[in-house]
Amino acid sequence: MARLFGTDGVRGVANADLTAELALGLSVAAAHVLARTGAENGHRPKAVVGRDPRASGEFLEAAVVAGLASAGVDVLRVGVLPTPAVAYLTGALGADLGVMLSASHNAMPDNGIKFIARGGHKLSDALEDSIEELYHKHAHGEAWTRPTGGGVGRVIDYDEGFDKYVAHLLGVLPNRLDGLKIVVDGAHGAAARVSPEAFAVAGAEIISIGDDPTGLNINDGYGSTHLEKLKAAVVAHGADLGVAHDGDADRCLAVDASGNEVDGDQILAVLALGMREAGKLRENTVVGTVMSNLGFKLALEREGVSLVQTAVGDRYVLEEMKRGGFALGGEQSGHVIVLDHATTGDGTLTGLLLAARVAATGRSLADLASVMERLPQVLVNVPDVDKSRVDSSPEVRVAVADAEAELGSAGRVLLRPSGTEPLVRVMVEAADIDHARSVAGRLADVVKSALG
């Protein structure tokens, strides 16, 4: 039986893979697993439920709310808000769990269910397994224990969530943004209202794009996966910078005044130096992933900052941050976690802190981001191969060793099996893009020959 939970909740095509029945059943199971402690301690369990603007989120929210309330959980329905807002409110309101309905940067037909544990934290693998096991048990005929009468959950529209989240964001800003002109791209998603509001209240002059969600246009030509319109708007309006979110706004990428992309690695580098200056970069360390650009690692080394790298995925970054007591971590894709102020990646917070650094230093974003030079990075997907043998194949090992010797300290090789598809990802970094492409092509040919 295929596992329902992926790297970030349960995701699929809404009303095909992700049905109302599945959403309801999973929510009942999640209530039994995540709200158990609260119920045992004698208080009525409570959940925070939010969503992005996808049309399918309307019926899926209804199913989730019905499932939770039928299991005796009181529901605070916060409406359309970013994933980090739901995580924050789950912790701030003392809820036993949170639920976010979103498929993040995926196209509109997809949707997803992300469960959040008490305190606003992502679920461990063990908790996900418990929810899934309980769901399957009851899907195959075992009856739920259901409360009746006054024991059923109540449903309340919590309209204060928007203002409470904005106040939280503004409360952690080190300085105001007066004098900055900023373009904000909300991807027609969950941050379409909240992010421009936060930037404006912080003092910036705002030009807002991707801010008209219809339920059908999320991520469609806008947001962190489609930066073209943001780049054009920044240049056309003479803005100091632009920020772009994905559909659920746990990511942030930026654009400098000339329309050049500033990716997650560069954002982390800028924030790391600012936090070190303020004495807030604990252990003088940043957490990244194995996909972090080599230029990022070299820049941190030059600045005397350590880099700890994890497997790809913001959940692994977060786990390492908690384990080591680190304050800052993230991914090249724009998932940035500032653990003193957020329990997950928060795109609006990231953008605000980046803009605050520009305002505080009086330096342009391009100048700040120049602390690191992005080395050319080539990624080749090799499909239809036995990915389980990528680490044990003698031919592949020899080819990788030869490539590493050829690149020396100015380059890097990474072979990574896909977590969801029968393919191997070949990543090569080098000082020259043509050299990177050449090495990546040769390695891909060896992988195809040896593992095909």
Domains in the chain with CATH codes: 10-159 (3.40.120.10), 163-369 (3.40.120.10), 377-451 (3.30.310.50)
How high is the pLDDT of residue 3?
A: 83
- Gap between the Cα atoms of 368 and 349, Å rounded: 18
Beta-strand (E) ranges in 153-201? 155-157, 181-185
Q: Which of 27, 56, 102, 104 is catalytic?
A: 104
Q: Summarize the annotated binding site for Mg(2+) as residue ranges.
A: 104, 246, 248, 250
Residue 243 CB partners (closer than 8 Å, separation 6+) = 182, 183, 184, 185, 195, 252, 253, 254, 255, 347, 350, 351, 354, 355
How high is the pLDDT of residue 37?
A: 64
Q: Summarize the annotated binding site as residue ranges.
A: 104, 246, 248, 250
How many C-beta neighbours within 10 Å does residue 401 have? 11
How high is the pLDDT of residue 45?
A: 95
- Gap between the Cα atoms of 273 and 279, Å rounded: 10
For residue 384, CA distances in Å to 87, 220, 320, 387, 389 come to: 38, 30, 32, 9, 13
Average pLDDT, 10 consecutive residues per value, the chain (452 residues)? 82 96 97 78 89 98 98 97 98 97 94 96 92 90 86 97 98 97 98 98 98 98 97 98 97 98 98 97 96 93 96 90 97 95 96 98 98 92 90 92 90 84 88 92 93 86
How many C-beta neighbours within 10 Å does residue 417 have? 17
The token pair at 162 is: 């928007």
pTM of the predicted protein model: 0.91
Residue 128 CB partners (closer than 8 Å, separation 6+) = 5, 115
Nearest to 353 by CA among 275, 283, 284, 280: 275
How many C-beta neighbours within 10 Å does residue 392 have? 9
Is 392 annotated as catalytic?
Answer: no
How high is the pLDDT of residue 420?
A: 63
